[in-house]
Amino acid sequence: MPLTRVSSSRTVRPPAALRLAIVLALPCAAALTVAGTYLGKEVIALAGIIALAVGGIVLVRPIVGIAVMTALFLLAAYPTLLQSLGFLTINNLLGVCLLTLLVARVLATRDLSFLGTRQVALLAVIGLLFVAAGYHGDAVFPLLVQSRGKAAILDRSDQMGHDFVVRLVFLVFFIVFVETRKDLKALFLVFMLVLYLAVPSALVNWVNGSLNHGFRAEASLTAGSNPNRLGMICLMEVACWWFWSLSRPGLGRRVVAMGAMSAAMVVLLATGSRSALLGCLVLVAALQSGVRQYRVPWTAIVAGAVLAGVVIATIVPQESWERMTNFSPEQGQVGASSNRMREQTIWTGVEMVKDHPLLGFGIGRFREVSRQIYRDPYWRPPHNSILWAATEGGLPVLGLYFLLLWFTWKDLAVVTRLAHRDPEMGHVSAAIRTIFILYVFFSFFADLYLNPITYIMIGMIFCLRRYIERVPDPRPVVVAGRRGVPVVRGAAA
């Protein structure tokens, strides 16, 4: 099925009013500087000038805004420089600039085809079902009130609803403005490098003795503050660095990639995550089932396993390895309490689905409902994307998420089949394929459907397919001519 064609940004010139606004921004910056100095608000004035500068760059090169938003979503935190401005966060300012460009493009081209893409349409329907589920939850649980857990309020419906809308808009921006090979390669590097920041952060915490429960590695960055999520990040980073090392020849590139992958694997072994240990097998299977030129030699896999054994015996905390290999809920063993709580959470979730199969009780309410209505003694997060979608949105939402992943996998299959058209993008398509497989696996152990990685991954796969389908096939095509004589046609011919 051909993808919806989105017009190229290079052919749409910003309207005169937009160009005038860019020119007027210069005296505005000067006035902001004078006012900030006079009022003693130099920091806020500097933040405003930076925002104007970034906005001007984004209006000229939208891919810059997409790259910055991608990085901030992966870090899951805003810089503190603009926090005092309230609404004026970096992502909101970038979103206003990109929305302005999108409106200008629609007015110039009358092209709204991006709204008809399957991924955007499915997520929009999922959002509407979540709204209906929220009203349903208010009706069936009229006495439900907000309560506070150990650190925060358990009902996260407002925050998660806001995140859903914002990230859907981000996906629209991604689909519209990411078009060229240079854009795709740049965003892949942003994804790889920004997500990797969790690895050195975890190593620094490990050296300083800042470990979860005294023996599990965790990162200070929000993206890897959860040890289980950190294990998933480490596996994704191993895949990214492996394919990056094979994208071009060079000993230096191989050495850098080996150092990055080794550090990620050391951190992974120190997370104590059982899902990460199983994910190692999934990573090997994904690498060895992909394109032949990117497969890992079995000698390297055996050598890596031996080195991992040495690291476990010498560096990794003993409790971390014991937890990673313990799948029993019996008391007295490391990690047994986590197994019991997860098992109880699953059974509580099953009861929720039985009671409300068509419409859930609203996004962000799982812990609140499990605590007040179902009397779950642990009221833990679902730690399971399937359970999260089925309980908070109902079985229709779960079915739509499955359909979303299926369409994305079909797009990925097209990218893999046509990757020979642009060899320079071969490592990107192979890496995204491996990331998608790891993502689907970890979705059974973590609630990932609302994670920014979901939207970045879907956007990358969609844009990769759209780009690769536009590239002419370089291979000759042999067809039968008159009298049965073969005739060679095609770009290569």
Indicate if 255 and 284 belong to the same structural domain: yes
Say yes or no: 211 and 72 in one domain: no
For residue 302, the model assigns a pLDDT of 92
What string of H, E and C letters represents the secondary structure of 10-68? HHCCCCHHHHHHHHHHHHHHHHHHHHHHHHCCHHHHHHHHHHHHHHHHHHHCHHHHHHH
Tell me how far CA of residue 174 lies from CA of 186, 295, 455, in angstroms: 13, 30, 9
Give pLDDT tens digits for 244-258. 999 888 898 999 999
**pLDDT tens-digit readout, 310-351:** 999 999 888 888 888 887 666 556 667 777 888 899 999 999
Q: Are residues 158 and 204 in the same domain?
A: yes
- Mean local confidence (pLDDT), 35-45: 56
**Model confidence pLDDT, tens digit, residues 126-181:** 999 999 999 999 999 988 888 877 777 888 888 899 999 999 999 999 999 998 99
Q: Can you tell me the mean pLDDT for 266-280?
A: 92
What proportion of the chain, given as a percentage, has pLDDT over 90? 46
3-state secondary structure of 113: helix
The residues, ordered by sequence, that sit 6+ positions from 306 with a Cβ below 8 Å of its Cβ are none
Query: Residue 8: its pLDDT value, please?
Result: 43
Rounded CA separation 385/229 (Å):
13
Residues with Cβ within 8 Å of 405's Cβ and at least 6 positions away in sequence, in order, are: 440
User: Does one domain contain both 66 and 157?
Assistant: no
Q: Per-residue confidence at 479, pLDDT binned at 50, 70, 90?
A: low
The whole-number pLDDT of residue 152 equals: 76
Say how far apart CA 286 and CA 416 lie, in whole Å: 13
Residue 280 is assigned to a structural domain of this protein: yes
pLDDT tens digits for range 429-466: 999 999 999 999 999 998 899 999 999 999 999 999 99
Asked if residue 375 belongs to a domain, the reply is no
Torsion of CA 230, 231, 234, 240, to 10 degrees: -110
Domain's final residue, options 80, 111, 142: 111
111 pLDDT above the threshold of 70: yes
Give the per-residue pLDDT at 6.
Answer: 45
In a domain, residue 355? The reply is no
Distance separating alpha carbons of residues 458 and 117, to the nearest angstrom: 12
| 67 and 141 within one domain | no
pLDDT higher at 26 or 121:
121
* pLDDT tens per residue across span 356-375: 999 999 999 999 999 999 99
Residue 145 and residue 344 in contact, taking contact as beta carbons nearer than 8 Å: no
End of a domain among 51, 86, 111? 111
Whether residue 101 sits in one domain with residue 135: no
361 lies in a domain? Answer: no
pLDDT digits (tens, 9 = 90+) for 278-316: 999 999 999 999 888 899 999 999 998 999 999 999 998
Which pLDDT does position 447 carry in this prediction? 87
How many domains is the chain built from?
2
Identify whether residues 132 and 102 lie together within a single domain: no
Question: In this predicted structure, what is the pLDDT of residue 11?
Answer: 44
Same domain, 83 and 33: yes
Judgement on whether residues 83 and 202 belong to the same structural domain of the protein = no
138, 73: one domain: no
Q: Are residues 73 and 156 in the same domain?
A: no
Query: Do 105 and 183 reside in the same domain of the chain?
Result: no
Residue 314 lies in a domain: yes
Q: Which domain holds residue 64?
A: 9-111
Give the per-residue pLDDT at 81: 37
In a domain, 488, yes or no: no
Residue finishing a domain among 76, 111, 146: 111
Higher pLDDT, 385 or 51: 385
Q: Is residue 359, in this structure, part of any structural domain at all?
A: no
Report DSSP state, residue 472: P
Q: Tell me the pLDDT band of 487, cut-offs 50, 70 and 90.
A: low
Q: Is residue 28 part of a domain?
A: yes
